[in-house]
Amino acid sequence: MGLPPPWEQSPELLSLDLHPSGRYNMWAMWIGRASWGSGLGPLRGTDGRFNRFTLTASGFTLTELMVVVVLVAILAAIAIPVYDRHIRQTKASEARSMIGAIVAAEKAYAERNGVFLAVSRNSYQDFLERLRVDVKESELFDYEVSMVSGKDSFTVTAWVNSQGVKEGLPASGFLRYVYNINSTPRGRWEEQLD
């Protein structure tokens, strides 16, 4: 003996849309049950009655997706230049470190010999033998010591080389440290890496 049809089990279902075959419309829902179906069809509860049938739609609207795309684009427009500047500064720190070593070596050389030493660009042997600084370790920059004035002043310049250009630094870029014993402060940095 089977259960009676749903419209006889509950008076709320009398208004169901019946199919010509006599079966009730599976898309019809009735209010009064707390349990939800899975979206696959009506479910029978523990009392044998049919529980609420739901068809849940999930997803994002086009407007919501467009808002997310716009927000991501704004964040990218802000973050990419900041990231590029950070990368350039990181690469420039290599030159600052090497310039610091050259300045210390020039001061030591001046103490021994009474004058600062001028070294032309790409004179790796002079840097290594006379100043005892291995500038070959620096891959992105070429170094020179110029504008030497006895034991008073000199300028160390780190020029961007071809490898530095390949790494995204400007071809005419440089970092420069100007040392003058008679000025305060004694050293001044100049930079053109943008």
Residue 127 lies in a domain: yes
Residue 176 dihedral angles phi and psi, to the nearest 5°: -135, 140
Residue 121's CATH number: 3.30.700
Residues of the chain where predicted confidence (pLDDT) is lower than 70? 1-57
**The pLDDT of residue 119:** 92
**The pLDDT of residue 33:** 41
| Residue 83 burial (10 A CB sphere; 0-12, 13-18, 19+) | exposed
Instruction: Give yes or no for a contact between 111 and 151, defined as CB atoms under 8 angstroms apart.
Output: no
| Tokens found for residue 32 | 């009064």
| Tokens found for residue 85 | 């500047």
Query: Model confidence over 88-106: pLDDT tens digits?
Result: 888 889 899 999 999 999 9
Residue 63 lies in a domain: no
Residue 113 lies in a domain: yes
**The pLDDT of residue 104:** 93
Taking the CB of residue 99, how many other CB atoms lie within 10 A of it?
24
Residue 136 lies in a domain: yes
- Model confidence, pTM: 0.61
Work out how many domains the chain is built from and give that number.
Answer: 1
**The pLDDT of residue 38:** 45
Residue 176 lies in a domain: yes
Residue 117 lies in a domain: yes
Q: Is 118 helix (H, G, I), strand (E, B) or coil?
A: coil
Range(s) of the domain holding residue 114: 92-192
Residue 1 lies in a domain: no
**The pLDDT of residue 88:** 86
**The pLDDT of residue 180:** 92
Residue 179 lies in a domain: yes
**The pLDDT of residue 6:** 59
**The pLDDT of residue 35:** 42
